Amino acid sequence: MKESTIEGKARKYALEQGIACYKFKSDNNRAVPDRLFINTWGVTFYIEFKAPGKKPTEAQKRKAIEMGWPKTPIFWADDLEVAMDIIYACATWKMPHTSKALMGDVPVKYTCFDL
């Protein structure tokens, strides 16, 4: 499945769960995550989508740190099921979680870029 297909289907799933989803672009700031999500409690999280078997680049890892990882929840997904698991786990958060708290909710492999 192509990266764009995974991203599109994950976006649709998030909207069905009542989670706002925005394409995240930042002029003159490359390597930002693909999507910004906001759950019904107003908690934000980000997902960087990748083609199957691909991982975030070093620039994307550095950008995650610049954006406040691990206090800012930033994930990556190279599979639709993983993306849906992340969205489902984050849907009911009432406050931001640190990466240690996320470990129980989201597959560890995809938690905050495994930095």
Q: The tokens of 113 are what?
A: 């870029």
Note the CATH number of domain 3-114: 3.40.1350.10
In the predicted model, what is the mean pLDDT of residues 43-62? 91
- Convert the pLDDT of each residue in 63-109 to its tens digit: 888 988 877 888 889 999 989 988 988 888 766 554 444 434 554 45
**Where are the domains positioned within the chain?**
3-114
